[in-house]
């Protein structure tokens, strides 16, 4: 029998090719790909963000995402979508509403300039399942490998696909379930993928992602 990793190579390769095509299309249409912010100015704007995201966007409460080291293009895209009501969250919609495009770029540059923290996977009993899903997907139910869009080490691909490495497992779990339930609607790809996943599969891959570095 071929090693597990060798058997996954064709699936991962195909997923990466598809993801590259999606990124190329999105990069042409999404203004967030043109982010050129001022991190110093962004630090001043971010003062109101620090209560939830900590001073540098790192390891705050698990209910809030780690945004240190996140792609600035992705941060701008999310702020734009909160402001436009495309992504629903009462707190973030209120925070994004008064921001100008320049302020969004600046605050994104500030958090992107910070070092993304390392995390740790905790579920010893599910780490193998999480790795299998992240690197190879679930062929039987057409769930593609997460690595295809978010890269093998979780670094992501600007601007559509965020950095995931080290993200709170609780946050990733909650977002996947929100996509599955139709509560988060700003990524048709993730809505379709999460719709096919069970609670166990979501929990396993979320925990595995927390330990990526």
For residues 203-211, average pLDDT: 98
Torsion of CA 178, 155, 24, 31, to 10 degrees: 70
DSSP category for residue 37 = -
For residues 21-49, average pLDDT: 69
State residue 34's pLDDT score: 58
Q: Is the pTM of this model over 0.95?
A: no
Which domains, from first to last, does the chain contain?
4-27+118-210 (1.10.760.10), 35-112 (1.10.760.10)
120: nearest Cα among 155, 172, 169, 176: 169
pLDDT tens, 133-155? 999 999 999 999 999 999 999 99
Based on its alpha-carbon atoms, the radius of gyration of the chain, rounded to whole angstroms, reads 17
- Say how far apart CA 168 and CA 45 lie, in whole Å: 24
Lowest mean pLDDT among 23-27, 54-58, 78-82, 94-98: 23-27
Residue 27 has pLDDT above 50, yes or no: no
The two three-digit tokens of residue 75, written as one number: 């941060």
Do 69 and 116 contact (CB within 8 A), yes or no?
yes
Element (H, E) at 12: helix 4-29
């Amino acid at each position: 029998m071929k090693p597990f990793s060798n058997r996954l190579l064709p699936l991962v390769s195909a997923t990466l090719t598809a993801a590259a095509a999606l990124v190329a299309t999105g990069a042409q249409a999404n203004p967030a790909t043109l982010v050129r912010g001022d991190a110093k100015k962004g630090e001043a704007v971010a003062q109101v963000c620090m209560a939830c995201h900590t001073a540098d966007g790192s390891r705050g409460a698990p209910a809030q995402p780690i945004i240190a080291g996140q792609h600035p293009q992705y941060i701008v895209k999310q702020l734009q979508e909160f402001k436009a009501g495309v992504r629903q969250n009462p707190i973030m919609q209120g925070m994004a509403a008064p921001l100008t495009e320049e302020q969004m770029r600046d605050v994104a540059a500030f958090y992107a300039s910070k070092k993304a923290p390392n995390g740790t996977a905790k579920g010893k009993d599910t780490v193998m399942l999480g790795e299998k899903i992240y690197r190879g997907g679930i062929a039987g139910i057409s769930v593609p490998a997460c690595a295809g869009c978010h890269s093998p080490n979780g670094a992501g691909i600007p601007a559509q696909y965020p950095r995931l490495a080290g993200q709170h497992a609780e946050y990733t779990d909650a977002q996947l379930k929100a996509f599955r339930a139709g509560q988060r609607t700003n990524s048709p790809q993730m809505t379709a993928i999460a719709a096919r996943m069970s609670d166990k599969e979501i929990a396993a891959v979320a925990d595995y992602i927390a330990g990526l570095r």
